[in-house]
Amino acid sequence: MKFAIDSFGKFYELATSSNVFIKSVLNHCEKMEIDLDYNNKLDIYQDINVIFGGKGSGKTVLMKNHIFPKLSENGKKIFIHEGKDYQKVYDEILKNNEDEVEIDSVLKDYIINDLDSVLNYKESTYTNFIGKYLKYYENQNVSKNAKKIRKTECLYNKNISQTIQDVSIKYRENINYINKVNNINTEYRNDENEHKENLSDELYKLKQEIYEDTIEKAKEIFSVSKTGIIIENIKEIIDKKTGKKSKPNNIGFSKMVSERRAIFEKIKNINNSLENVKSSKKIKIGELPDKGQIYSKVEVKVMDKNEKYVKGSPFDRNKISVNRGVIEKIANFSVKDLLGMNKLFSIDELQKCGAEYFSDCVKKSCMVIREDDTIYEPSEGEKSILSISGLIENLAFDCYLFDEIERGLGNKYISEYIIPKLKYLRDIGKTVVLSTHNANIAINTLPTQTIYCNYVGDSEAEIYFAGNMYANELVSIKNTNDIISWEDEAIKHLEGSEYMFNIRRNIWNQ
């Protein structure tokens, strides 16, 4: 039964007067009042609401111009589906599923930063490491005054492999982790939980400590890099004024080793990050008759070093050659390649920055698959089916509006899949509003509210009646004394007429 009867009194009321019983039950159901105009209002129940009537009777106008705006004003999350726009809805479902998979922003920053460092790396030519010291010792016989300038003996060899950009990315990574923990803390603990506030306070303090540590590291990197430059400039000025050759700050060997080691680590990090940025998610779209469950498989894909263009590839066919060359060099990089770093990349490969390479080589793709993971291309009719089932399977909405839901669907599919799913949405507290010419949908979904549209083509425009099949009444919205039979109108508009209904009944009874 549609309505729960939990006492003999209710059963007696139903048996005595079903009409009174139904009205009593519906008075306690959750509903929303829709303003049709200044004087006329219509109730939409948190249940299944069916709209029916002849072609051009105002069903779409009621749904799009009155029901949809009112539900939106009340902050409801709504999806509206029109049978004629199945391709658009199907494409939107795939796009929404694709949006559920995000490319890791921290890994993205690391990859772009490291790519820029590798692409921009240029090494000075070190032909004679001890030549600088030889010149220094050969120029010691200078004036006594020049010898007194001790700054020429100053050494400053502190090397830091990190850059301010590296520190900044690490800071964002740590803050992201803290925010995730804080979100979990907020989601799973109520406001009365003392641990919730304690953890929140500790996470805030940790953010502050990380921020202060990041600032100190950035200051150190800046000061080290600039101090070395300042000392070298001072020495050059003294050398020009005195003719004395200052003691080298360093011969360049340790700097070269440090830089090469940093580049080698960055290339290793790029390869690791490109592997870790890959992800995949299988999202159910719906069910097709005789085909079973259909899914969209969303992947974050990284261009392979042997990548070749194939139909459906997310990678730009015209850019694959250059991009593949860079990916291959980074993937196959070894220690011996450090000797030729200045010539590792071609002129064409150096025309793009790290962000461009990331955009070209890391892509999201979405393909439709069956339950056994085989790729499947739905027909036009199946897309129509999936545009409905994909919406029904998504439980993120408060309200589901369907205009001519049966369009393109077979009766078997309607009976075995659509009707049970609509009932499920109702059972979990969703509001469903659907217009239909299909008797199975209009009756077997057991709607709480049935709205009959009767556009008569005169100045009164749309005329609406509301009621239900349980009470067998449809009451005019404009005049509550104007009551017509639900059964008469249902047989006329849903069954095609009483004559046709009787013919089908007689055939089925034989």
DSSP calls for 420-473: HHHHHHHHTT-EEEEE-S-HHHHHHT--SEEEEE---SSTT---EEEEETTTTE
Q: Are residues 180 and 156 in the same domain?
A: yes
Query: What residue numbers bound the domain in which 220 lies?
Result: 129-251
Q: Are residues 342 and 409 in the same domain?
A: no
Q: Of 465, 487, 467, which is closest to residue 478 (Cα–Cα)?
A: 465
Q: Are residues 112 and 138 in the same domain?
A: no
Q: Are residues 219 and 247 in the same domain?
A: yes
Higher pLDDT, 272 or 472: 272
Confidence (pLDDT) at 247: 61
Summarize the confidence of residues 363-386 as an average pLDDT: 90
- For 461: left if phi > 0, alpha if psi spans -120 to 50, otherwise beta; the answer is left
Please check whether residue 9 lies inside any domain of the structure. no
SS3 content of the chain, % helix, strand, coil (to 5): 55, 15, 30
Q: Are residues 169 and 280 in the same domain?
A: no
- 497: domain CATH number is 3.40.50
Please check whether residue 498 lies inside any domain of the structure. yes
Summarize the confidence of residues 435-462 as an average pLDDT: 80
Please check whether residue 390 lies inside any domain of the structure. no
Q: Are residues 138 and 226 in the same domain?
A: yes
Burial 389-420 (b: 16+ CB within 10 A, else e): bbbbbbeebebbbbbbbbbbbeeebbeebbbe
- For 404: left if phi > 0, alpha if psi spans -120 to 50, otherwise beta; the answer is left
Please check whether residue 278 lies inside any domain of the structure. yes
Please check whether residue 181 lies inside any domain of the structure. yes
Question: Which residue, 349, 379, 409, sits at the end of a domain?
Answer: 379
Please check whether residue 447 lies inside any domain of the structure. yes
Question: Which residue, 379, 414, 444, sits at the end of a domain?
Answer: 379
Please check whether residue 495 lies inside any domain of the structure. yes
Domain count, the chain: 3
Q: Are residues 201 and 218 in the same domain?
A: yes
Question: In this predicted model, what pLDDT tens digit does every residue of 234-248 receive, in sequence order?
Answer: 767 666 666 666 666
Q: Of 267, 362, 268, 284, which is closest to residue 319 (Cα–Cα)?
A: 362
Q: Of 264, 316, 295, 308, which is closest to residue 114 (Cα–Cα)?
A: 264
How many Cβ atoms sit within 10 Å of the Cβ of residue 130? 10
Question: In this predicted model, what pLDDT tens digit does every residue of 265-281 receive, in sequence order?
Answer: 899 999 999 999 999 99
Q: Are residues 228 and 136 in the same domain?
A: yes
pLDDT at 459 over 50: no
Q: Are residues 293 and 207 in the same domain?
A: no
Please check whether residue 286 lies inside any domain of the structure. yes
Distance CA 176, CA 166 (A): 16
Question: Lowest-pLDDT range, 68-72, 249-253, 258-262, 311-315?
Answer: 249-253
Q: Are residues 197 and 213 in the same domain?
A: yes
pLDDT at 124 over 80: no
Q: Are residues 181 and 217 in the same domain?
A: yes
Question: Which residue, 251, 286, 312, sits at the end of a domain?
Answer: 251
Confidence (pLDDT) at 50: 93
Note the pTM of the prediction, 2 decimals: 0.62
Summarize the confidence of residues 418-438 as an average pLDDT: 91
Note whether 417 and 444 are within 8 A (CB): no
Q: Are residues 120 and 159 in the same domain?
A: no
